[in-house]
Structure 1
Amino acid sequence: MRRILRLLGVVVLVLVATVVLGTLVPRPLFRGATDEATPRHILVFTNPIHTDIAVPIDEAVLEKFGFLLDAGIEADLSTARYLVFGWGSKAFYIGTPTWSELKPGPVFAALTLDDSVMHVDLAGDIALPQPAVRRFEIGEKGFVAMLDFIDRSFVRGTAGVERIPEVAYGDYDGFFDAHGKFNALAGCNTWTAAALRHAGLTTGWWNPLPATLNWSLGLYNRPLVQSGGVQP
């Protein structure tokens, strides 16, 4: 029993050290030249286990993601201000709209190996500051690179990008098959971190949890003073 407890203790220490180092070691180690173009902004939404990226809607974004309009995502609504993108476990993401609907099967799939999906939602005006939302300024080049990364995450078949039928949390969102396998080590928050690095931000080397991603973003990126009011 003592050997088992020692082994468990070692495993816990290794996991803690890995998470700490994954947060503290920056990725990339060295940042390139700052993009001096007119800055754009994005938002990062956080809950206890998941992060999403909210992209301001304009004509160029609507053109880039026109396939979402074709799939019934009403991004051209007059009240829509952001397209919200998230990547995650297909079984868990689709099977757990609320915590009250949590089931062992989707949890097991998310902790082992699962197919992935993109979840797309709409958001209106966002009042800042608030604890679950962070705003970042990025250059135009980084903004375009991040959109390309998000776009490449969608699976395209012979008919292009197709929405998963009859699956949604509400009236304005939808799910789409995505590239990559989901597992506990490379999950939704590591996808968000990769997208943010394409945008020109620095994250930790490995950020499996929203908390570690937020810590690393605060460590390595210039903080933006958020005044009260509604964004954008």
Structure 2
Amino acid sequence: MIIVVGVLALTACSTLPKAIDAQNPDVLVPSQQPVKLHRVYIVSHGWHTGIVIPAQEIQRVIPELRARFGNTGYLEFGWGDKGFYQSPEITVGLTLQAIFWPTDSVVHTVAVPSDVEAYFGSSEVSGLCLAELEYAALVEFISESFARDASGSVISTKTGLYGESQFYTGIGNYHLMNTCNKWTAKGLQSAGLDISTTFKLTASSIMSYLADQQALSSGQGCR
């Protein structure tokens, strides 16, 4: 009974950040001609997933990322529990707190070179092409996952986990029904994929969905 009540309480908690409606006319579409396709990637690190996108547009939206990472080809983003994600040592207490108690979130950001699949050679990687409107919605979703200070700037915290990387304060609370992988699912939903985010709580559920879609592009026409 206690577990059931706990799960119901978690479902009532904040599920920020929200997925973006790509058909919303307020979505900012880059004024680039002609229309292009954009190559993006989903990376599974075993227990969590990240979204890898070309750096240029997100750095335009969040200038602090250009100042921090410079002229990198891509950036990987992952959203998760502040304590668990940033801890150099994972303990049982941190794990249970992350799962069963709403906690603050962070966004992990990593500079990735142009050969994304080689950089993540030991991880499972899926790539897909997005049209301009869907890509703009994904960029907006990622941007809105960052918390801002009073001046509107994103808030850096600790150095990241690998490579050239940084943690930033995130929007929303992490809990059992709002995990790092559900965040990735909301990003895919923002990008126009027909994915239900309700039970996309594990990395395998995300990667299985992508494999089942048969919508992964060969990369032709993507920049």
Q: Same fold (TM over 0.5)?
A: yes
Q: What are the Cα deviations for residues 127-183 of structure 1, in whole angstroms up to 9, with x where unaligned?
A: 469661110111010000111111111111213234344443356211111111101
Deviates more, 1:187-196 or 1:101-110: 101-110
CA distance in 2, matches of 1:166, 1:224: 35
Residue 185 (structure 1) aligned with residue 177 (structure 2):
yes
**Corresponding residue number in structure 2 for 1:106:** 94
Residue 52 (structure 1) aligned with residue 50 (structure 2):
yes
Whichever residue aligns with residue 169 of structure 1, its letter is L
SS in 1 for 2:161: coil
TM-score (structure 1 length as normaliser): 0.71
Question: Which ranges of structure 2 fall in alignment gaps of 5 or more residues?
Answer: 5-22, 24-34
Q: Alignment partner for residue 134 of structure 1, among 116, 126, 142?
A: 126
**Alignment coverage as a number of residue pairs:** 187
Q: Alignment partner for residue 205 of structure 2, among 203, 212, 221?
A: 212
Whichever residue aligns with residue 150 of structure 1, its letter is I
CA distance in 1, matches of 2:157, 2:215: 41
SS in 2 for 1:203: coil
Deviates more, 1:140-149 or 1:157-166: 157-166
Larger radius of gyration: 1
- Superposition map of 1:1-232 within 5 A: 37-58=35-56, 60-70=57-67, 73-76=68-71, 80-96=72-88, 101-112=89-100, 113-124=102-113, 125-127=115-117, 132-170=124-162, 172-205=164-197, 206-225=199-218
Whichever residue aligns with residue 108 of structure 2, its letter is H
Whichever residue aligns with residue 121 of structure 1, its letter is V
TM-score (structure 2 length as normaliser): 0.73
SS in 2 for 1:133: strand
Question: Which ranges of structure 1 fall in alignment gaps of 5 or more residues?
Answer: 1-10, 12-31
Q: 1:171 to 1:134 in 2, by over 3 A?
A: closer
